[in-house]
Amino acid sequence: MEIKTVGIACDHAGYPLKQFVVDYLEKKGYPFKDFGTYSDMSCDYPDFAHPLAASIESGEVYPGIAICGSGEGMCITLNKHQGVRAGLAWNKDIAGLIRQHNDANVICLPARFIDNKTAEGILDAFFKATFEGGRHERRVKKIPAEAKA
């Protein structure tokens, strides 16, 4: 994967894991843009997912990392945007397949269900993987919603 600037966003439940991920990105030398949240105070994940998604769509950041308690809230919100393909990963094998088969541009992490070591393995696999194209490209092209006449 060619990394431009990694976008990262989380809610309060994902904040502790986001702090670990920020350290991970710094150690790897990956530039990043932090869309918040910036504390563990209760907040609403869409407030951070939508700006990340808009930045992915505009090309300002690529790829993205989104973190919330289950990972699902962020994933659901991000996938409302036509230019985003967000996938939930709880292990490194899933993370690799999300890139290889679905050309995901955002990985969602379930902070309440993985530890830092698992998160590191997931991110390593996601960043290492490349989209396989072929039959998968045909499928990915069918994802965007088409306007109904």
Catalytic residues: 68, 101
H/E stretch holding 67 = strand 64-68
Distance CA 130, CA 38 (A): 31
For residue 15, give the amino acid letter: Y
Q: What are phi and psi of 125, to 5 degrees?
A: -65, -40
| SS3 of residue 85 by DSSP | coil
Q: Give the residue among 69, 40, 51, 42 at the shortest CA–CA distance from 8.
A: 51
